Amino acid sequence: MSHRNNRENRPPRSNEIDVAIGRNIRKTRERRHVTASFAAISMGMTVGELYALETGAVRASARDLMSFAALFDVPIADFFRDVV
């Protein structure tokens, strides 16, 4: 009898980098006093989708990061602070 890898049955975990980037997106949004609703509408997504990005449950694409940087008027590098 072979043992099945337990990872096959578990949902995929967020990558630590995705979590850190999402956290930085949220912190930047909050520092800029931008509501989740306004950010989501501006980005063409739902608040739930924004929440998934901010928690790292969903990986932010390069396009997302560029759009967030423009929305918040910050360099894209700000989202990579404390990553690694």
pLDDT interval class at 84 (50, 70, 90) = low
3 state SS for the chain: CCCCCHHHCCCCCCCHHHHHHHHHHHHHHHHCCCCHHHHHHHHCCCHHHHHHHHHCCCCCCHHHHHHHHHHHCCCHHHHHCCCC
Give the start-to-end residue ranges of the domains of the chain: 14-75
Give pTM, 2 decimals: 0.81
Assess if CATH 1.10.10.10 describes domain 14-75.
no
Q: Is the pLDDT of residue 1 over 50?
A: no
Q: What's the pLDDT score for residue 82?
A: 87
Q: What's the pLDDT score for residue 78?
A: 96
Q: What is the pLDDT of residues 13-64, one digit of tens each?
A: 568 999 999 999 999 999 999 999 999 999 999 999 999 999 999 999 999 9
